[in-house]
A = this chain, B = another copy of it.
Amino acid sequence: MGERSLIAAIEALLGAGGAPQVRNPRLVRWVGDDAAVVRARPFAVTSVDAMVDGVHFRSGRPGTSLADIGHRAVAGALSDLAAMGAEAGEVYVALGAPEGFTAEDGLALVGGMEALCARTGAVIAGGDVTRAPALFLSVTVVGWAEDAAVLLTRDGARPGDLVGLTGPLGASAAGLALLDGRVDAASAGIAPDVAAALVAAHLRPEPRLREGVALARLGLRAGIDVSDGLATDAGHLAARSGMALALDLQAVPLAPGVGDVARALGEDPREFAVTGGEDYELCVCAAPALTSAARDAGVTTWIGGVDAAGPDGPGVHFSGRPAGAPPLSGFEHPVR
């Protein structure tokens, strides 16, 4: 199919026939011009996330729909805005369509994106479609902030801060193990509804946009989203802040069923949870005076604290592990 008929089908889905401000009051121009025009606010917060078939997802895997793939690509990008505490704005999508990719496929993919956008206040405002040897998506998200000082950053952790999470970890990695058939839910004693929730956590992660904005407004200054695994992501906070993060592995909350999946894989449940990626919970640092309000704003669990870096320099130390255990680390997108 030609690029133009695929583009036409997607534009029809997005309501491109109507006036831009009907689609979203921020939009001044979009489809039909050389570029989208959007009402800005004082600071633009922008992130790009590219996902490729065979690297970040498998389009042909049973149980994974194109709507899931679309959702997940946008969720991963929006999660970067959540990690900054920015409000979601516009989404721009470059789609590489392989041989045999139909207009129906395009509608399913973009439908998954559009549903997530509608729920989070984001709006697909433009993009590009091209032929490609394999399906890829490059998602650019733009968020907005009134004040660049009221954002979460990776270098804002201070000695005495508590380190918190907005939810349990491990669900995405556990869901992937179930999807891949590396673990059989029934044999592992996992109830069908619990297994379904784990799979959904992998395929349809929810970016913590509301929590990110609330925590930034509250006065928190350090945060990151758990995309590469807490061990890796907390390491970024530590390195950029020049701090030592002391985390209690046993305090890390696990989503239901994660323990069963980890044990079926022969892994320690909490080590599995902090090295698995793409939970998209936020890991934030809060001054002690803010912890109670931070809990109201979405932090569910405190897992450790921030210290000035010692002679070993900045880093993350997990307590609650066997003596001499090797360092934990996250992953760098293996093919799966």
Q: Which residues of chain A have a CB within 8 Å of any CB of chain B?
A: 2-4, 28-29, 32-52, 54-56, 80-81, 83-84, 86, 90, 92-96, 125-134, 136, 138, 140-145, 148, 151, 153-155, 224-225, 240, 332-333
- Which B residues are CB-close (under 8 A) to A3? 332-333
* Given A50-B130, A52-B96, A40 contacting B41 (CB threshold 8 A): yes
Nearest B residue to A40 via CB reads B40
Pick from B47, B127, B132: contact of A35, CB below 8 A.
Answer: B47
Verify A48–B94 contact, CB threshold 8 A.
Answer: yes
Q: Which residues from B are CB-within-8-Å of A84?
A: 33-35, 37
Main SS of chain A's interface residues?
Answer: strand
How far, in angstroms, from A34 to B280 measured CA to CA in the complex? 12
Report the bound CA distance from A92 to B131 in whole Å.
21
Q: Which partner residue on chain B sits nearest A154 by CB separation?
A: B33
A143 CA / B52 CA spacing, docked (Å): 27
Inter-chain contact A145/B46, CB cutoff 8 Å: no
Q: How far is the CA of A55 from the CA of B32 in the complex (A)?
A: 23
The complex places the Cα of A148 from the Cα of B27 at a distance, in Å, of 11
CB<8 Å pairs between A and B, sample of 6 = A36-B47, A37-B148, A40-B144, A48-B94, A50-B96, A55-B131
